[in-house]
């Protein structure tokens, strides 16, 4: 019986850690940049074959950017574009 209680306590501790990591992970990954769309000359369409989906700053899980503030389209573009290698 003692072993069962020990296992149950460990399982609950593990489940709590997993639940917290699951809940906060996506929030942390969604942080976007600080530059305004105006400053970055952001547009909702590609430019010269370049698009956010191919930029190192794009965060596809949240449609955000590490540089530019707010929601970003995978088909967008701005003057901070940096191609993925
Ligand atoms: S092109 Fe600009 S807005 Fe798009 S992901 Fe890259 S830095 Fe962000």
**Ligand 1 pocket mutation, candidates 42, 56, 63, 79, criterion most atoms within 8 A of CB:** 42
Distance from Cα 10 to the centre of ligand 1, integer Å: 44
Domain edges within the chain: 1-30, 31-85
- Number of CB atoms found within 10 A of residue 52's CB: 24
Which amino acid residue places its CA nearest to atom 4 of ligand 1? 52
84 has pLDDT over 80:
yes
Q: What is the CATH number of domain 31-85?
A: 4.10.490.10
> Which tokens sit at 65?
């950017």
pLDDT digits (tens, 9 = 90+) for 19-74: 544 454 445 556 889 999 999 999 999 999 999 999 999 999 999 999 999 999 99
Quote the ligand 1 centre to 33 CA distance (angstroms): 10
Closest to 77 measured CA to CA, from 37, 39, 38, 50: 50
pLDDT at 12 over 60: no
CA distance 20 to 17: 5
């Amino acid at each position: 019986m003692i072993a069962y209680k020990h296992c149950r306590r460990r399982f609950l501790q593990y489940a709590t850690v997993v639940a917290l990591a699951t809940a906060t992970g996506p929030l942390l990954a969604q942080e976007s940049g600080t530059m305004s769309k105006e400053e970055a000359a952001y547009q909702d369409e590609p430019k010269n074959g370049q698009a956010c989906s191919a930029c190192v700053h794009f965060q596809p899980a949240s449609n955000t950017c590490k540089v530019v503030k707010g929601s970003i389209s995978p088909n967008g573009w701005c003057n901070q574009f940096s191609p993925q290698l």
